[in-house]
Amino acid sequence: MTPRLHTCVHIAVLSVLLSGSSLIAGCSDFEQNIASISGIQNNEVADHQGSIADHSKAIKINPQDANAYGNRGNAKMELKDYQGAIADYTKVIEINPQDALAYSNRGLAKGIGFNDNKGACSDFKKAASIGWEYRITWLNSAGGAWCRNMR
């Protein structure tokens, strides 16, 4: 029995003993959280392939996990898989249309990966319109002038 499964079994048994209700359904959440945490840790130590694999596991458990898609997109960016990163950030936006960071990150992937300045700028402006202070400040700076003035 894996340590994760072992822990999940203990949680389920304790919940039945203590409250009379089962948390077995919550074990998939537990497994998803472990996969996400492992993915984040892998990304922090530059194991981007491991991060992608772990976040993919979390997504398989919960296809609506916007954080897992965003973190997997970040790992793909590190590996210069810009198309894959854009797909993941787009999925975050589908799940949560108010996720300003996903718009900003997708804009970076478009600009860096494909020199799509118009697409990047559109995403940067969307992130600012949602209220993300970083993009608002950047758009009002000299560095953001090219985007601010783009139609």
Domain containing 134 equals 97-151
Domain boundary among 58, 87, 116: 87
Overall number of domains in the chain:
2
Whether the full predicted model's pTM is greater than 0.75, yes or no, is no
Specify if 112 maps to a domain.
Answer: yes
Nearest to 48 by CA among 23, 21, 84: 84
Specify if 92 maps to a domain.
Answer: no
pLDDT tens by residue, 74-128: 999 999 999 999 999 999 999 999 999 999 999 999 999 999 999 999 999 999 9
Residues 82 and 135 in one domain: no
Residues 151 and 78 in one domain: no
pLDDT tens by residue, 6-46: 333 333 333 333 333 333 344 445 454 444 444 445 445 46
Helical segments of the chain, H only? 3-19, 27-44, 48-61, 66-78, 82-95, 100-114, 117-130, 133-139, 145-148
